[in-house]
């Protein structure tokens, strides 16, 4: 390489190269920036859609868990009611000829009829 003669560029070479670069940048620049902007917009929309979808799935899982807890509570209450209904309470029914009916619960009566004396 040292044996080759030195070549010098013309004075207009630098300005022509710079003009060609800027012209090419003006033509390709808007297209390239538009593509990048669209790609960024699509990526943001996809991320937003994924976040909303995950949030809705988490909300549904929480709702299902709450419904299962409520179902277990209702099932326990129903079992308790069935147990109470299976054990009838002792009652006494008084009825007269006019159709008046008095029902007395012997467990909660203040004074049972058998203890009362009419002296």
Residue 1 lies in a domain: no
Vertex 20, ends 19 and 23: CA angle to 5°? 85
Provide the number of structural domains found in the chain. Answer: 1
Structure confidence at residue 40 (pLDDT) = 94
Instruction: Give the count of beta carbons closer than 10 Å to the beta carbon of residue 15.
Output: 10
pLDDT digits (tens), the chain, 119 positions: 677 777 777 778 878 888 877 777 666 666 667 888 899 999 999 999 999 999 999 999 999 999 999 999 999 999 999 998 888 777 788 888 888 888 777 766 555 555 555 54
Structure confidence at residue 94 (pLDDT) = 84
Please state, in angstroms and rounded to a whole number, the distance separating the CA atoms of residues 59 and 65: 10
Structure confidence at residue 10 (pLDDT) = 76
Query: In a 3-state reduction of DSSP, which class is residue 6?
Result: coil
Residue 99 lies in a domain: no
Residue 103 lies in a domain: no
Residue 106 lies in a domain: no
Q: Is the pTM of this model over 0.75?
A: no
Residue 38 lies in a domain: yes
Residue 58 lies in a domain: yes
Structure confidence at residue 92 (pLDDT) = 80
Residue 21 lies in a domain: yes
Residues 6+ apart with CB under 8 A from 105: 89, 90, 91
Segments forming the whole domain that contains residue 45: 14-88
Residue 97 lies in a domain: no
């Amino acid at each position: 390489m040292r044996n080759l003669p030195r070549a010098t560029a013309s004075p207009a070479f630098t300005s022509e190269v710079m003009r060609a670069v800027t012209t090419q940048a003006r033509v390709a620049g808007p297209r390239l920036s538009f593509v990048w902007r669209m790609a960024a917009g699509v990526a943001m929309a996809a991320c937003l859609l994924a976040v909303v979808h995950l949030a809705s799935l988490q909300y549904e899982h929480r709702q299902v868990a709450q419904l299962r807890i409520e179902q277990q509570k209702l099932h326990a209450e129903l079992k308790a009611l069935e147990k109470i209904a299976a054990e009838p309470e002792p009652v006494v029914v008084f009825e007269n000829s006019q159709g008046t009916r008095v029902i007395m619960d012997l467990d909660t009566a203040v004074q049972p009829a058998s203890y009362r004396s009419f002296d």
